[in-house]
Amino acid sequence: MDLLEYQGKQLFAKHGIAVPGGEVAKTVEEAVAAAEEIGYPCAIKAQVLIGGRGKAGGIKIASDQAQAREYADAILGMDIVGPHGEGPFRVDQVWIEGGSDIAAEYYASVILDRGEKKLLAMVSAKGGMDIEAVAAEDPAALVKVHIDPTREFDVSTARGIVAAAGLAEDALDQAAEVLVQLAEVATEEDANLIEVNPLIVTSAREVVALDAKVTIDGNALFRHQDLAEIADTVDDPQEQMAKEKGLTYVKLDGNVGILANGAGLCMSTLDVVAQAGGAPANFLDAGGGSKAEAIVNALEVIKSDAKVSAILFNIFGGITRCDEIANGIVTASSRLELDLPLVVRLDGTNSEEGLAILAEAALPNLHQEKTMLDAARRVVELAGSGS
């Protein structure tokens, strides 16, 4: 589960990390009122789950009430596309934050390295920049150190990391303390990723987290009731719809809708679609023993993503009956006005009955294939042509 910037900062503050004060606003009037209370200059920052907000015009510095109103009006309701084409993400709220007097910008993060099964601390003196570009152009500028889970990660240990990264001498102690606190957040809040870019030093030589990117392990939310309540407010619309319908769904960035029964088959389907040159729009596991109504619900979720231009059904019938899947497709086509190409591969229990049901229905946009690879190739072709 990804947190919005202000939610990440609230989590940081809970663990003693210095962050700028601010207020959330969902309307222009709320934003202006918050700016008046906080004072000028102040930052008006789009709250969306994507980077590159500044370049997209989603972060503005207002020096007076007129600018606060102008910028809030421009940012609220805007669509932001991520640096790699993600989105668009609509801005429904902004974070109004007091201006910061920045003397230096650093980078700090703590992420879960699944390969090593340890937390990985990363620090760079080149903050405020695309850290991927920094790592590619000057690898030595990004210091990476695994945190030993069998030993206390203390300020002394952290100081060695921030010193190796070349941070200013008079900021080392504070930066080390922040790094320890970030590791504490990762451990105590079950975070997979915590990134601060930039971690600033003010003219008063105070180290402050000016940004916050936080990803929480969704499987651990039962241990964090406060975060579980946040989850309902930040879920992607399709993911929220799927959750309400009891479906296992993850939204991706492509245009090929995927529906399979079983997590393993669904993952394999994503791989084969990518192999065929396509870009999956989602992971959707309808589950074993899927009934017709579950297929209707699944199609409704997939179709609600405007980026989807074709849908692939990859069903292997074990406890799942292929005739139930076919009935679900026919039912959904009448309820949802499906105008997207559907590519169906049915194999296993009652597959012949299922194929007969689809043949009798004679749906205009439906295409049948016998193998997973052929189905993937066909859906990629149809997604590309849009017909």
Active site residues: 107, 195
H or E segment to which residue 193 belongs: strand 191-202
The Cα-based distances of 245 to 37, 171, 236, 289 in angstroms read 42, 50, 14, 16
Q: What is the DSSP string of 288-343?
A: TT--HHHHHHHHHHHHT-TT--EEEEEEEESSS-HHHHHHHHHHHHHHHT--S-EE
Structure tokens at 189: 């809040």
Structure tokens at 63: 């020096």
Q: In angstroms, how far is CA 260 from the centroid of its own chain?
A: 22
Cβ(209)–Cβ(143) below 8 Å: no
**CA–CA dist 287, 319 (Å, integer):** 10
**CA–CA dist 59, 44 (Å, integer):** 6
